[in-house]
Structure 1
Amino acid sequence: MYSFAQRLDVKVMDEPFYAYYLIYSQLEHPGKEEILKTLEPDPVKVFGQIQEQEQTFNNVFVKNMGHHLQGFDYSPIKHYQNVFLIRDPGQMLLSYAKVREEPTLNDIGLKQQAELFTWLQAEGQNPLVLDGNELRKNPEHVLQQLCDGLGLPFNQAMLNWPAGPRAEDGCWAPFWYAKVHQSTKFMAPDTDSSPLPNSLRATYEAALPYYTTLKQYALLA
């Protein structure tokens, strides 16, 4: 999201279906009360908000979570260009557990991503897939491939951004975006080989097949 936000021809939106997801799932997330006050909870109206942005900007980049798309008719996404950002599930779980303890398979969204990917393929799409580690190995090369796939000219501005928050950040940013607020570019892939705690092993094993399925389609560094 921060990368695409550097483009003058793109408007970014941060997880616009989050309020609906919290109501639907009844989960307790950090900042839930503020999220419900801030975001539109009706997914039909959220799609309308996206369309409003499309009338002003050439391109709208919607950063979304796969597991936010459940319990309503999300079929309008088949009319968009869809990009799936994936990450090694062990890395995801270690990161997520810093904010919410003992994350489940549904929390990290890989299963839903794989299901959405398969559904979009059946609808005739060939969605693009970014693996976080491949992207961080060679950001320029991978972003060039991504832009080619989206029919956009690559822009060098996508490689850097100013440190700190953005106006488009969701109100949950203080809980989740500390590292990205410290960053100014894509950093090298994580080299931490710390073993997963036993409490996360079962979730990791459940998530791995979905990650493996999507990874075979990922753009390579």
Structure 2
Amino acid sequence: MSHVTRVAMWSGPRNVSTAMMRSWENRGDTVVVDEPFYAAYLLRTGIDHPGRETVIASQPTDPTEVVAALHAPLPDGVGVHYSKQMTHHLADDMDLSWTRDFRNVLLIRDPAEVVASYVRSRESCEPEDIGLLQQVRLLDALRSGDGTPPVIDAGDFLRDPEAHLRWLCDWLGIGFTPRMLAWPAGPRSSDGVWAPYWYDAVWRSTGFEPWRPREVALGRHDADVAEACRPAYERLAALRIRL
């Protein structure tokens, strides 16, 4: 691990996580991994997501095998390994000690905005679906080891992506490049097989979407889900990077 920077960006769904993955992949010295625990999550939970069987067939379903792959040697000339991780993909009883081999970052978003976006793609949403509760568990696990990981709020990030990316690169001890701010539109070979169901906006994008206020209107159940996750969000938001 000493000659390679391995970054694990932990998010919930419907955040800027896929655009963030595009940003890092566009560096040129970086390989990215898209949601490596997704198949294991679908198999373990039985949850019905779009393209479920295709996703399960596309990845290892044994978490131990996934962790081993995340530690695998990288191709020559690659100095940064970036994994886009979804915290809700982790089992509650999973030993998280392996995460200490990585430079971990928590990426958060206001739960009402997450739920509003999530239910546009799925009929139902529960607190466990949007990752914030699991991000708190991961925060506690990481704090018991090497200290508090950086927390980035998507709203703050989109107001000034360059400042946040420069901060992250400095924290990681790697150089920032303007290539992280723009990328070609379209799919990538690194995209998970679920991309056709979820990545339309990212495929159209050539950079980070400027921040704008969101009008959120939720039904009773979805509003209750967002409020159930708000204490977790507020705990994480109190630790967020402020630039």
Per the normalisation by structure 2, the TM-score is: 0.86
Question: In the TM superposition, what is the alpha-carbon distance from 1:18 to its structure 2 partner?
Answer: 0.7
1:65 aligns with 2:86: yes
Q: CA RMSD in A?
A: 1.4
Q: Match of 1:63, as an amino acid? A: K
Aligned match of 1:127: 149
Aligned residues: 221
Aligned match of 2:134: 112
Over 3 Å counting, the alpha-carbon distance change for 1:11 and 1:107 in structure 2 is: same
Question: In the TM superposition, what is the alpha-carbon distance from 1:208 to its structure 2 partner?
Answer: 0.7
Q: Where in structure 1 are there 5+ consecutive unaligned residues?
A: none
Instruction: Report the 3-state secondary structure (helix = DSSP H, G, I; strand = E; otherwise coil) of the residue aligned with 1:64.
Output: strand
Question: In the TM superposition, what is the alpha-carbon distance from 1:55 to its structure 2 partner?
Answer: 5.9
CA–CA distance in structure 1, aligned partners of residues 239 and 191 of structure 2: 29
Q: Where in structure 2 are there 5+ consecutive unaligned residues?
A: 1-20
Per the normalisation by structure 1, the TM-score is: 0.95
**Pairing partner for 1:18 from 18, 38, 60:** 38
Aligned match of 1:204: 226
Indicate if the aligned counterparts of 2:113 and 2:216 stay in contact, CA closer than 8 A.
no
Aligned match of 1:142: 164
Q: Which has the higher helix share?
A: 1
Question: In the TM superposition, what is the alpha-carbon distance from 1:121 to its structure 2 partner?
Answer: 0.6
CA–CA distance in structure 2, aligned partners of residues 194 and 18 of structure 1: 28
Question: In the TM superposition, what is the alpha-carbon distance from 1:73 to its structure 2 partner?
Answer: 3.0
1:216 aligns with 2:229: no
Aligned match of 1:48: 68
CA–CA distance in structure 2, aligned partners of residues 38 and 125 of structure 1: 34
What per-residue deviation string (whole Å, max 9, x for no partner) do you get for residues 127-165 of structure 1? Answer: 111111111001111111111112221111000011111
CA–CA distance in structure 2, aligned partners of residues 154 and 73 of structure 1: 33
CA–CA distance in structure 2, aligned partners of residues 53 and 186 of structure 1: 30
Aligned-pair identity (%): 38
Aligned match of 1:76: 98
Aligned match of 2:14: none
Question: In the TM superposition, what is the alpha-carbon distance from 1:199 to its structure 2 partner?
Answer: 2.4
Question: In the TM superposition, what is the alpha-carbon distance from 1:53 to its structure 2 partner?
Answer: 4.4
Indicate if the aligned counterparts of 2:104 and 2:150 stay in contact, CA closer than 8 A.
yes
CA–CA distance in structure 1, aligned partners of residues 147 and 74 of structure 2: 21
Question: In the TM superposition, what is the alpha-carbon distance from 1:194 to its structure 2 partner?
Answer: 3.2
